[in-house]
Structure 1
Amino acid sequence: MYLADHTWEELGDYFERESLALVPVGSTEQHGPHLPEGTDHLIAEGYARAAAERTGYLCTPTVKVAVSPHHRQFHGTMWVDAPVFRDYVTSMVRNLTYHGIDRVVFVNAHGGNVQHLREVGRRLRDAGDAYAIEWMWNESIPDLVDEAFEHNGPHGGPKETAMIQHLHPELVREEKLAEARDGGWTRFHDEMEQVSQNGARTFYDCVENSPNGVFGDQTDATAEKGERLFEAATDQLVELCEWLAARDSDVVLPPDHV
């Protein structure tokens, strides 16, 4: 169920019987010449709402602007400073705990959020407020993603392209796929060695490696591949929610000192 669509009385019924919520988290940032800037939050919301529909668990509104300063050189990218993001998400979850939620799945679709959502989860658990864990769709089905694309990429690549082709095909600039491939960094995994020095990662911003802001071969993406990956990852998310909901209430609390 989607929180914003329901009345407070209907939500009260939910909080009486359940204690889990899905919180979709994405970004609003450049995704090359072929994908919309909302790519990450559209993917996150797609997964969260699909899992909520299948399970009946609560899905909150999406966090759409997050930690994206590494894309700031491209027009329209929005971001908040990392401490602000962590404080905001922490406060948002504590709002949910006021209503009885004590376990949360951050349905995340932006790599720049991962470490910060993990930190938020630690804060909440150390305080005994909630058990909140970060879930990233492609990390739940790594073998399927690798098999689907010859030249994948972590940002604006074929996996995200296929996902938007499936979820929001009207937003994909299909005529720009070859341009995205040719103007970006196609062989990401092979070329990463070129941007490190003596074991140190030497870059901070996306534009330092990819002139148009994307990686991988976008022409390898199709809506059919996107649908297959979406369904498989949604299965994983549903199983995660059911596992978390079934855990004892002491999951919220950190272990005692040895």
Structure 2
Amino acid sequence: MYLGDATWPEAGVELAETSTALVPIGSTEQHGPHLPLSTDHVIAEGLARAAADPAGVVCTPTVNVGVSPHHRQFHGTLSVDAPVFRDYIESLSRSLVYQGVDRIVYVNAHGGNVQHLREVGRRLHDDGTAYAIEWMWDESIPDLVGSLFEQNGPHAGPKETSMVWHLADLVRADQLEAAREDGCPDITAIETTRNGARIFYDAIENTHNGGFGDPTDASAEKGERLFEAATEQLVALAEWLDAQPWETLGPKPHVRERKRSGRSRSNRKR
């Protein structure tokens, strides 16, 4: 069930049947001249809503703005400070716990959110509040992604272009060649590290128009294959998570001290 469409009595019935929620999280940021600023949250919401009913879990409304300072030079990009984002997601998660949810999948479609979502998951796990994990759609189907595209790219490339093409009529097809030519089609051709250190902060340092990869290799048909495969992975994850006893998910107790022969610690000489 998508909670945003439910009445409160309907939500109560559904929440009584599951302990798991899918929380779609994206960004509002540049994705080259051919994709909308909404790319990441369109993908995240599409996957979460498609997986919720088959998995028998609930899906929350989407978090549309994430941590995107590395795209700040491009018009329209919105971002929140990382500590604010972490606190917001943690507060949202604790609200879900109050509603009876104790396991959460952050259905994430933006790389800049990853480390912060994992930190929130750590906080909730350490105090025994909930078991919350971050899930990135393309990381669930790496072999398929690798087989479909020769020059994939981590941002605004053919995989995201294909997904948006499948989900929404928002791809500017007349800009695909320009996106490739004025972007960074081959990320292996640029120097991103030196002596083991990452040497860039913002996307604009490596791409004039914000794109990475070759979006001319995208299609709605490829997007459908990606979407169906990733949805299948998310359903399986949610079903597994919902079926786990809390004892296997909650924080483990401190290790017990082994018994020692001889005098006890309190009787030893200082």
Q: TM-score band (shorter)? A: over 0.9
Please give the alpha-carbon distance, in whole angstroms, between the structure 2 residues aligned to 1:106 and 1:167. Answer: 20
2:232 to 220, 235, 241: 235
* Secondary structure, counterpart of 1:28 in structure 2: coil
The number of equivalent residue pairs is 255
Q: CA shift at 1:252, angstroms?
A: 4.3
> What's the TM-score, normalizing by structure 1?
0.97
- Give the AA of the match of 2:184: W
- The aligned counterpart of 1:213 is 210
CA contact (8 A) 1:21 1:104 kept: yes
Q: Which has the higher helix share?
A: 1
Describe the superposition over 1:171-195 as per-residue Cα deviations: whole angstroms up to 9, x where unpaired: 110000000000000111x224x23
Decide which structure has the larger Cα Rg and report it. 2
- Give the AA of the match of 1:6: A
- The aligned counterpart of 1:77 is 77
Describe the superposition over 1:93-143 as per-residue Cα deviations: whole angstroms up to 9, x where unpaired: 100000110000000000000000000000011111110000001000001
- The aligned counterpart of 2:267 is none
- The aligned counterpart of 2:174 is 175
* Secondary structure, counterpart of 2:16 in structure 1: helix
| RMSD between superposed Cα atoms in Å | 0.9
* Secondary structure, counterpart of 1:17 in structure 2: coil
Describe the superposition over 1:198-220 as per-residue Cα deviations: whole angstroms up to 9, x where unpaired: 11111000000001001000000
- The aligned counterpart of 2:91 is 91
Could you tell me the percent identity over the aligned residues?
Answer: 65
Unaligned runs of 5+ in 2: 256-270
- The aligned counterpart of 2:261 is none
Please give the alpha-carbon distance, in whole angstroms, between the structure 2 residues aligned to 1:10 and 1:195. Answer: 50
Please give the alpha-carbon distance, in whole angstroms, between the structure 2 residues aligned to 1:205 and 1:250. Answer: 42
Q: CA shift at 1:55, angstroms?
A: 2.3
CA contact (8 A) 2:55 2:236 kept: no
> What's the TM-score, normalizing by structure 2?
0.93
CA contact (8 A) 2:15 2:58 kept: no
